[in-house]
Amino acid sequence: MHSSTVLTLGLAAAFSPLAAAHTVFTTLFVNDVNQGDGTCVRMAKQGSLSTHPVSLDSSDAACGRNGNDAVAFTCHAPAGAKLTLLFRMWADNSQPGSIDPSHVGPMSIYLKQVSDMATTSATGPGWFKIWSEGYDSATGQWATEKLIANNGLLSVNLPPGLPAGYYLARHETITLQNVTNNKADAQVYVGCAQLFVQGTGSASVPQDKTVSIPGHLTGSEPALVFNPYAQDPATYPAFGPDVFFPAADGSGKKQAQQQQQPTLTHTAGVIPAGCLLKNANWCGVEVPDYADEAACWASAENCWSQLDACYKTAPPSGSRGCKAWEEQKCKVLQRACESRRFPGPENKGQKLDQAAVDGAAPPGALPPAVNAGQRGTETPGGGNGGSARDGDGNGDGDGDVDGKEEEEEEEGGDRSTAAAATLPPRPTPTRKAKSCSEGRRPRRLRRQGRRRSVNY
């Protein structure tokens, strides 16, 4: 059952269409520390849709497809911390790039405080904008072009005056390459990270600074029907709510009052202390102790069961942690059982190499944090000037000649050709234990055959 399950998932990934080269937020850094691909990040569960734009009038406008589904982990961040978001054209980084160069437009960051990640809906009121940038005349770049220049990294500071609590951090990327004189067709990309902000502030967000999503934009705003090739970028208008960036209260009296109040602590969504290896929002824990052969095989079965869960829950950003768990834990356990090395497990409680799974910092140095609360300056120049236009002349770089690219992709017409990685077959036992008949071994440990990871 185990091998066939993963094999089926692997084959599905290998032959299903993958994500087209738009963009998706996959990885969060807190104060330059990589939290791991997919960790604390809500992404579409169907890899072929993970990089696609969303409709402004749907529930997907809040946190993207499946964005109302909480993930297991919530990342810890001090108030005022630098958040860095990594964007990719292919969620699993199977090909380089952050967003197609033709996709020009503004970017924004919103926050929403939630009482419970699992039950509080991402949709609805309470969202407020902490940063936004359109076109910068000083550099002659749209916000998306700056993203490309920074190797797909966007850094902003959290407001230092945020009260402690759970927050959704939402990016909103709007690209204008499809907007022409006769077609108002801006593309909107969104994604959310789950945060616990350890703050002591008490700032309340003014009602006129908050919006409800969906509903905060209609698509007919001047900023969303702006033709970047025919209009002067210097005239690009602001849109949506104004930036609200609560500063820390520096008064000693206020700080003393805050210190006397109970401090909210991060308890939900914490990565378990016993986590030996993490893949996105899954973690592998130590198997039960064993002192004889039967218990050894039971512990190996426990390891493979955890591996099943890892592959089944792997998001579009990939399953590298699952592969590492299989090679460094499950196969090691299986060899120990086959060689009758008791008691165990060997290297009990030893954490696996998480850095190798997550990778170091992405290519290039992390950019400096954006000035707190600063709305980007919008001055003359001109994006791409249409140089990246494709066959339909709208400059989106996607070749949607008939203007129906998104509908085709929604139906599985995505043309990416990256294939899921295949895993080697389990090693053939070098020696069968005399006291263990073939019938007593768990079936999933006897089965040979190739195992494939679910990399979208």
- In order along its 456 residues, the chain shows pLDDT tens digits of 444 344 334 433 433 334 456 999 999 999 999 999 999 999 999 998 999 999 999 999 999 999 999 999 999 999 999 999 999 999 999 999 999 999 999 999 999 999 999 999 999 999 999 999 999 999 999 999 999 999 999 999 999 999 999 999 999 999 999 998 878 899 999 999 999 999 888 878 899 999 999 999 999 999 999 999 999 999 999 999 999 998 887 654 455 444 555 578 999 999 999 999 999 999 999 999 999 999 999 999 999 999 999 999 999 999 999 999 999 999 999 999 999 999 999 999 999 999 999 986 666 555 445 544 444 433 333 333 333 333 333 344 443 433 344 444 443 333 333 333 334 344 433 333 333 333 334 444 443 333 433 443
Measured between alpha carbons, how far is 227 from 395 in angstroms, rounded to an integer?
11
Secondary structure element (H or E) that encloses residue 332, with its range:
helix 331-338
Q: What is the pTM of this model?
A: 0.79
Asked if residues 171 and 85 have their Cβ atoms less than 8 Å apart, the reply is yes
How many CB atoms within 10 Å of residue 368?
9
Q: In DSSP terms, which residues pair with 189 in a beta bridge?
A: 173
Measured between alpha carbons, how far is 319 from 296 in angstroms, rounded to an integer?
26
Q: In DSSP terms, which residues pair with 88 in a beta bridge?
A: 24
Asked if residues 28 and 85 have their Cβ atoms less than 8 Å apart, the reply is yes
Q: How far apart, in Å, do the first and last CA atoms of the chain sit?
A: 23
Q: Would you list the domain boundaries of the chain?
A: 19-270+363-410, 275-348+418-452
Measured between alpha carbons, how far is 353 from 323 in angstroms, rounded to an integer?
12
Which is nearest to 255 in space by CA: 201, 292, 293?
201
Asked if residues 360 and 286 have their Cβ atoms less than 8 Å apart, the reply is no
Three-state DSSP at 294 gives helix
Measured between alpha carbons, how far is 21 from 175 in angstroms, rounded to an integer?
13
Q: In DSSP terms, which residues pair with 42 in a beta bridge?
A: 192
Distances (CA, A) of 382 to 113, 184, 443: 37, 19, 63
What are the start-end ranges of the H helices in 184-292?
A: 252-260
CATH of 19-270+363-410, one of 3.60.20.10, 1.10.3720.10, 2.70.50.70, 3.40.710.10: 2.70.50.70
CA 84 to chain centre: 12
Three-state DSSP at 81 gives coil
Which is nearest to 440 in space by CA: 289, 297, 288?
297
